[in-house]
Amino acid sequence: MIQNEKETAQQNLPYIAGITLIATLGGLLFGYDTAVISGAEKSVQNYLISSQGLSTWVHGATISSALIGCIIGGAISGVFASGIGRKKTLILAAFLFFLSALGSGYPEFLFFEESEPTMGLLYMFNFYRIIGGIGVGLASAVCPVYIGEIAPANMRGRLVSLNQFAIIFGMLVVYFVNWGIASGQSVEWIDTVGWRMMFLSEAIPAGLFGVLLFFVPETPRYLSMVNRDEEAMKILTKVNGAAQAREIFADIKNTVEHHSGKLLSYGKTVIVIGILLSVFQQFVGINVALYYAPRIFESMGAGKDASMLQTVVMGVINVIFTVVAILTVDRWGRKPLLMVGSVGMAIGMFAISGLAYYEVIGISTLVFIILYTASFMMSWGPICWVLISEIFPNKIRGKAVAVAVAAQWAANYFISSTYPSMMEYSGAFTYGFYGVMSVLSLLFVWKMVPETKGKTLEEMEKLWGTKAGTVTERPATATRAKV
């Protein structure tokens, strides 16, 4: 305890907080970009899809099109994060967010006439949404890594969890923005003008994020990997104090120098765990609740304005329970929170499935939706990102996170795009499926996921090195990885 107090006393908390808050704007934009469609999706359907007599499959694909970009962005994030650095990758993401906001709000730019929906215009709208999705994919992978590589071990869980708070806060902000734009307006106005304003509003936080990123440093782990040791040591000292900085720097250099950096240098297990964490985070169905929230509440009997308001209420619940995770992740650990969350999600989804089977619509449905989302937000929402940012060894972190995040967005796309057709078949089956996935996520965490609370990134590296038979020691006794 005394040692921890000494470490905390040496840490530059205002500097750490400032860097983290700027980095979490990427999370806010992640949430903003993915949830802005929730208020605009019916208008987009009316304007671009129903007016041309297109199918519900086209509707589902269009609403989920940004996820194609997310898969691309996640897949290429490792290349960019390792090639140009974490900071420059986030600047690129900010630019893509800004471009997508303008293009999605006015897809007619240059090539099409307003109020004349055509297949070409539909393609252009999807193109701009995909551009924004690439930004989301980059930010979703690199923001947690950036924060995790800057943050001291004793507060890393809380700081990386702040990124999830920013994601949820971004969703809450856009729920309010969408509600404010739509409130008191006619359906005709929303279908012609309102939905455009919803997308255009994202340009403001995107521009702010891009500007502020010029004032944050590159991460010391990345700087060390590209042999910019003096800069790395300077940042470590500013964050941790001189004594701690020397110890951390020695560990970083040791892990960087004594492994090849190939994806499977530490065996398959750590990669499989990262992928399954990502897949289960999506297969439990959370983004269905987020993307289609107003429509779900309308199907429960709420009017359009009431459904928007209930979505805002759900957003507030999400923020509150994400704060619960932030306050407990470094005290209780990662595994207990994930397991408790899985139990709560399973109860919520199985209850909603049963209510859907018996066609019970009312306050009970809302209660179980809130139970489900609250359970997710205090566990799998933030903790998945914490684990992804910290379980991978330094030398392969960029590549491994890219694989995990690409798998996450592929799973997200599958779940979100199949939701309309699954609901046409059976609501009870759809929500029951998400309940089963919640149970499987519980078993997966119990059996496979290691606890990472309080461990440095270099200590996690030694764990996987031991399991793969490539233990990293100090340079004098180091064993090179066999690849």
Q: What is the pLDDT of residue 476?
A: 39
Any domain includes 120:
yes
In this predicted structure, the answer to whether residue 374 has a pLDDT above a threshold of 70 is yes
Q: What is the pLDDT of residue 26?
A: 92
Any domain includes 221:
no
Q: What is the pLDDT of residue 465?
A: 61
Angle between helices 56-63 and 119-150 (to 10 degrees): 30
Q: What is the pLDDT of residue 82?
A: 85
CA–CA distance, 255 with 367 (Å, rounded to integer): 48
Residue 203 near residue 101, CB atoms below 8 Å = yes
Confidence of residue 212 (pLDDT cuts 50, 70, 90): very high
Contacts of 313 by beta carbon, 8 Å cutoff, 6+ apart: none
Q: What is the pLDDT of residue 479?
A: 36
HSE-up (13 A, CA, CB side) for residue 303: 6
Mean pLDDT over 242-270 rounds to 73
Domain that holds residue 279: 15-216+259-477
pLDDT for 220-239, tens place per residue? 888 988 888 899 899 989 88
Any domain includes 248:
no
Residue 311 near residue 293, CB atoms below 8 Å = yes
Confidence of residue 481 (pLDDT cuts 50, 70, 90): very low
Residue 157 near residue 453, CB atoms below 8 Å = yes
Confidence of residue 399 (pLDDT cuts 50, 70, 90): confident
CA–CA distance, 234 with 230 (Å, rounded to integer): 6
Percentage of residues in the chain with pLDDT exceeding 70? Answer: 84
Residue 151 is classified by DSSP as S
Mean pLDDT over 255-271 rounds to 69
In this predicted structure, the answer to whether residue 29 has a pLDDT above a threshold of 70 is yes
pLDDT for 149-192, tens place per residue? 888 878 888 888 888 789 888 888 887 898 889 887 888 888 88
Query: Most distant CA pair in the chain: distance in Å?
Result: 73
Residue 163 near residue 388, CB atoms below 8 Å = no
Mean pLDDT over 441-470 rounds to 76
Strand residues in 389-457 grouped as ranges (E): none
The lowest-confidence range among 72-76, 163-167, 444-448 is 163-167
The lowest-confidence range among 368-377, 418-427, 433-442, 465-474 is 465-474
Q: What is the pLDDT of residue 1?
A: 44
Mean pLDDT over 183-212 rounds to 90
Q: What is the pLDDT of residue 272?
A: 92
Strand residues in 340-397 grouped as ranges (E): none
CA–CA distance, 444 with 170 (Å, rounded to integer): 30
Residue 359: give its domain's CATH number: 1.20.1250.20
CA–CA distance, 262 with 471 (Å, rounded to integer): 16
- Closest CA relative to residue 344, chosen from 378, 311, 316, 313: 378
| Averaged confidence pLDDT in the chain | 82
Q: What is the pLDDT of residue 99?
A: 95
Any domain includes 437:
yes
In this predicted structure, the answer to whether residue 469 has a pLDDT above a threshold of 70 is no
In this predicted structure, the answer to whether residue 483 has a pLDDT above a threshold of 50 is no
Contacts of 49 by beta carbon, 8 Å cutoff, 6+ apart: 58, 59, 62, 122
- Which amino acid would we find at residue 292? Y
Task: Classify burial at 228, counting beta carbons within 10 Å of its beta carbon; exposed 0-12, middle 13-18, buried 19 or more.
Answer: middle
Residue environment code for 274-304, b if the CB has 16+ CB neighbours within 10 A, otherwise e: bbbbbbbbbbbbbbbbbbbbbbbbbebebee
Any domain includes 361:
yes
Any domain includes 228:
no
CA–CA distance, 181 with 204 (Å, rounded to integer): 16
Any domain includes 8:
no
Confidence of residue 115 (pLDDT cuts 50, 70, 90): low
Confidence of residue 306 (pLDDT cuts 50, 70, 90): low
Task: Classify burial at 461, counting beta carbons within 10 Å of its beta carbon; exposed 0-12, middle 13-18, buried 19 or more.
Answer: buried
Any domain includes 111:
yes
The lowest-confidence range among 64-78, 106-120, 454-468 is 454-468
In this predicted structure, the answer to whether residue 419 has a pLDDT above a threshold of 70 is yes
Residue 138 near residue 169, CB atoms below 8 Å = no
Q: Quote the number of domains for the chain.
A: 1
- Closest CA relative to residue 324, chosen from 449, 153, 158, 166: 158
Q: What is the pLDDT of residue 120?
A: 83
